[in-house]
Amino acid sequence: SQQGEEDPQALSIQEGENATMNCSYKTSINNLQWYRQNSGRGLVHLILIRSNEREKHSGRLRVTLDTSKKSSSLLITASRAADTASYFCATDSGGSYIPTFGRGTSLIVHP
């Protein structure tokens, strides 16, 4: 069953702006991951945040996790045209560590 729901479904920004995508989920999780999918390609893992963590950084990416609100956000700072892609959150919960994916946010960064 689908766990994470990304918001917004689509986001269009100019190069240099920041992009924020959100993910909400229903049940308590073990971990939450963010993936990127370029058009016509497979998904690429970006970052994993555990349920006892609140924030993680990787380069221009910043992920936050609020377990009380059952939500996470992915911030891409100083966006580039190459960041144009779909971004998915994936959660695992209970005894299963296999992630369940949301429907993704489609990000377009205009040069």
Q: Please report, as ranges, the residues that interact with another protein according to CB under 8 A.
A: 2, 30-31, 33, 35, 37, 40-45, 48, 50, 86, 88, 90, 92, 97-101, 103-104, 106
Least distance between another protein and beta carbon 93 (Å):
11
Output b/e per residue, 13-37; b: 16+ Cβ within 10 A. beeeeebbbbbbbeeebebbbbbbb
CA 45/CA 33 separation, integer angstroms: 8
Residue 20 or 51 having the CB closest to another protein: 51
Least distance between another protein and beta carbon 21 (Å):
14
